[in-house]
Chain A
Amino acid sequence: MTKTNQESKILTGKDYWLKKLKNAFRVITSDKIGLIGFFLLLIIIVISLLAPYVFPLDTRSDPTKIFQPPSEDHLLGTDHMGRDIWAQIANGGRNLLLLAVITAVISILIGIVLGTISPLIGGKFDEVLLFLADVWLTIPRFPLLVVLSGFFRLSSLVLALILAILSWAGLYRNIRSEVLSLKERDYLEAAEMLDLSMFHLIFKEITPNMMSFISLNFTLMMRHAIYAQVGLFFLGLLPMEVNWGVMLNIAWAQGAIYHPDATMFILAPAMAISLLILSLVWINRALENLFNPALRTDKSD
């Protein structure tokens, strides 16, 4: 066997992840509810992405078409200004989703960095951080958000950052406890004996073993972010845009609930939000199955 021969033989971590992914796919698809969740989310994402081209938003008001019931022209009827509701629904999820993803990414990153470094360094640093997190958790988050957005005009990126920062404590605690249990594993002790770097410990030893846990928290964070946004939009504390939360706000303010033909105006955004959350909940459930060692069959590989 020549050396070059062997060089090409060594497979990298990719191989492992491919296998792992296949396994994850199998577990998730074996759970019907989880599968439905994935499809639901996929449909919502596809509609949101294609909407500007397929269902373009017509912002002009048409007084002749106010509060029309669903019809062929207007799948879900029209709003108080005679605009198509379906077009608004199709376009109103994009920013919500984007923001949720950005929030989740930022908060998970904060969570991983703090949650791994803190127990690895340990001692006073860990204690102080844990104390801060406990204090932080006592702050009522939503009212704080309301106050903040009342004072400042928040762009969506800033909102995502604020949401992420506000939720660092919970995530930090979750990931910290997971790392603490991983820390007891012999392979981390072995890494300590071999004097491997902190970077190696966090990103090569610990994080890869928490992927399912992290993805679980990811969907959880997305849900929180969506709730928070919808709440703020509903209260009218964020800039007006086409958005399910804003739609709810306007429908409420325009008295759509009192208008029998306008039921869809208030129901459609509410349904859209529920479906999005539901898809995330179901995906979460499938991910929990991934967590369940009885369903994971790494050993039999």
Chain B
Amino acid sequence: MSRTLIEVKDISKSFGEKNKKVPVLRGLTFNIKADEILCVVGESGCGKTTLGKVLAGLEGYNGGSYLHEKKEVNKLSKKDFKLFRRRVQMIHQDPFASLNPTQNVFTILSAPLYRHKIVKGYQQAVDKVNSLLDLVGLTPVQDFIDKFPHQLSGGQRQRISIARSLTLEPAFLIVDEAVSMIDTSLRISILNNLLEIQNKLKVAYFFITHDLAVANYFAQKGRIAVMYLGKIVEIAPTEEIIGNPRHPYTRALIGAIPEADPEVTRQKERFKLKDSEVPSLQNIPGGCAFHTRCPWAEKPICYEKEVRLTGSGQHKTACHLV
């Protein structure tokens, strides 16, 4: 068994001033092993992107603990934080916004190499950039090395973005909706490329997506966590959560997704919720936050008692009734 890389315990985060605090993360607990894939799925506003930024060290956290290599991240010394920066990298969603339009591929990829003294001199930089481009499948390398972002397609830009995140040889990659803005026909190849990289470099992924189908594909051997209003409502190995969802929210999501198969999608079993409006973060319902939409909700327990993520083994659910 590989060692645990990331330990998150009861982490919370809120934005805004003291009397107008908006809680975005409301106590999440999970671990990520050194070569594991954890997919986080949820609707917009569930806090998945904020969670990604907290894990990336771009945002702080208000409560709980976040251990990276057994060290509390917001208590790292300057030197250790620099090391953390090298070990943890992020891949952004929008390949058109994540690359500086005024820099060519070589400049984009070589700047961090020089900065962190990973290479010495121009020749080493060229060699390293070549191997990175090769790794992300942009071959022949010489066709890409001097291109500017606007000369590349969306998929190629995303690969450059991936290559850049690998420059510092990180162990943990946060991938924020990396394929949602990529053309359908190219998505699988990007996902496959990420999986290949994991195979070669043994990195851990924290993969954020709104698309359960993508999560199901990407985390075939990993786990999926479903988030709702700043909490994890269910977390389990992928096959388990897709095949045997327990939480009503997970069931609703799986049932709601249209599929690219006319008969399946039209006959699919739906799990109907009570009311389709999501409560706002300023006004999160008490008890189990999902009770306003949950068809199973029972008084008084679901309305009053906080839920915790419980369950035996790998499959954990935050629901009073399962």
Contacts and interface: CB of A to CB of B under 8 A. Distances in A.
Interface of A: 1, 3, 6-7, 9-13, 15-16, 185-187, 189-197, 200, 204-205, 208-209, 298-299, 301
Interface of B: 56-58, 82, 85-86, 88-90, 92-94, 97-104, 106-107, 111-112, 115-116, 122-123, 126-127, 130, 140-142, 145-146, 148, 150-151, 161, 164-165, 167-168
A194 B146 contact: no
B92 A13 contact: no
A189 B127 CA distance: 26
27 contacts: A1-B140, A1-B142, A3-B126, A6-B141, A6-B145, A7-B122, A11-B104, A11-B146, A13-B102, A13-B103, A186-B93, A186-B98, A187-B100, A190-B92, A193-B85, A193-B89, A194-B111, A194-B164, A194-B167, A194-B168, A195-B82, A195-B85, A196-B111, A196-B112, A204-B103, A204-B111, A298-B101
A195 B118 CA distance: 13
Contacts of A9: 142, 145-146
A10 B151 CA distance: 15
B177 to A, nearest CB: 11
Contacts of B165: 190, 193
A301 B115 contact: no
A209 B92 contact: no
Nearest to B176: A186
A301 B142 contact: no
Contact of B100 (A193, A205, A298, A301): A205
Contact of A187 (B86, B97, B140, B167): B97
Contacts of A190: 90, 92, 98, 161, 164-165
Given A10-B104, A209-B100, A209-B102, 20 more contacts: A1-B142, A6-B142, A9-B146, A10-B126, A13-B107, A15-B104, A16-B103, A16-B104, A185-B97, A189-B90, A189-B92, A190-B161, A191-B100, A192-B58, A193-B85, A193-B89, A193-B165, A194-B115, A195-B115, A204-B100
Nearest to B95: A186
Contact of A209 (B101, B126, B148): B101
A180 to B, nearest CB: 15
A192 B168 CA distance: 13
